[in-house]
């Protein structure tokens, strides 16, 4: 059975690299490259079409160069993913712009789930920068929204984030209190990997049982 590899990159600057990947995969019996060169004319819009192809693929290969490709102007999921990638590679200024774009789109659409996601991600970013007061404000804003929406998974996530932040601030009593809340919620909704992670934090910090 051939495994489908979705190839993604900007075009002009990485043309030779794309051609090299496509040519190499063509020599392998067990892989099939799905690239825009083979799409042909389509009546579907680009964003949902590409998302469907990515979902159907077995492997995603992204070639990252010096240029940014086309960005859908009003696609919050795309901006959120872009911000997460920028955060992961350390381009924090670009990540701020991406997450703030998600926040603006959420406010524009009165979509509180988007606002919660954006403020939570901004909290992670500010924490990475060392701006703990700003990170705390973002985490609490996200937590407030998720509590109003009753989204237990995301409430637990923010309790966990706040626990890490208070540990960084040296307030271990607050850190342990928030991790206990996160642990209890993860246990309630059956999220075992997250539960085990938080239990590890509690043990390592020597937190007393609540």
pLDDT per residue rounded down to tens, the chain (210 residues): 789 999 988 877 888 999 999 999 999 999 999 988 878 766 667 777 877 888 899 999 989 887 777 666 788 988 998 899 999 999 999 999 999 999 999 999 999 999 999 999 999 999 999 999 999 999 999 999 999 999 999 999 999 999 999 999 999 999 999 999 999 999 999 999 999 999 999 999 999 986
Contact predicate 39/8, CB 8 Å: no
Q: Same domain, yes or no, for 155 and 210?
A: yes
CA dist., res. 82 & res. 73, Å (int): 12
Q: How many domains does the chain have?
A: 3
- By CB atoms closer than 10 A (0-12, 13-18, 19+), residue 117 is buried
| CA–CA gap between residue 92 and residue 82 (Å, rounded) | 11
Where are any strands of DSSP class E within the chain?
3-8, 31-34, 59-62
Q: Which of 71, 145, 73 is nearest to 114 (CA)?
A: 145
Question: Is the domain of 41 the same as that of 95?
Answer: no
Cβ–Cβ under 8 Å, residues 103 and 118? yes
Tokens (6 digits) for 7: 């190839």
Which residues span the domain enclosing 121?
74-130
Q: Classify residue 112: in a domain, yes or no.
A: yes
Q: Answer yes or no: do 119 and 156 share one domain.
A: no
């Amino acid at each position: 059975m051939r495994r489908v590899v979705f190839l993604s990159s900007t075009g002009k600057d990485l043309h030779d690299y794309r051609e090299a990947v496509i040519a190499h995969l063509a020599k392998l019996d067990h892989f099939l490259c799905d690239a825009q060169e083979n799409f042909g004319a389509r009546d579907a819009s680009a964003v949902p079409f590409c998302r469907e192809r990515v979902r159907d693929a077995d492997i995603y290969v992204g070639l990252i160069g010096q240029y940014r490709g086309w960005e859908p102007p009003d696609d919050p999921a795309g901006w959120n993913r872009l911000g997460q990638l920028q955060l992961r590679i350390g381009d924090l200024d670009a990540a701020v712009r991406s997450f703030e774009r998600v926040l603006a789109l959420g406010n524009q659409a009165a979509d509180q789930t988007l606002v919660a996601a954006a403020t939570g991600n901004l909290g992670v970013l500010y924490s990475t920068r060392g701006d703990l007061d700003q990170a705390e404000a973002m985490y609490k804003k996200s937590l407030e929204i998720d509590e109003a929406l009753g989204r237990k998974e995301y409430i637990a996530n923010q309790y966990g984030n706040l626990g890490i932040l208070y540990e960084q601030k040296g307030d271990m009593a607050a850190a342990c209190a928030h991790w206990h809340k996160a642990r209890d919620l993860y246990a309630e909704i059956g999220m075992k990997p997250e539960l085990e992670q938080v239990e590890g934090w509690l043990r390592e910090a020597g937190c007393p049982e609540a």
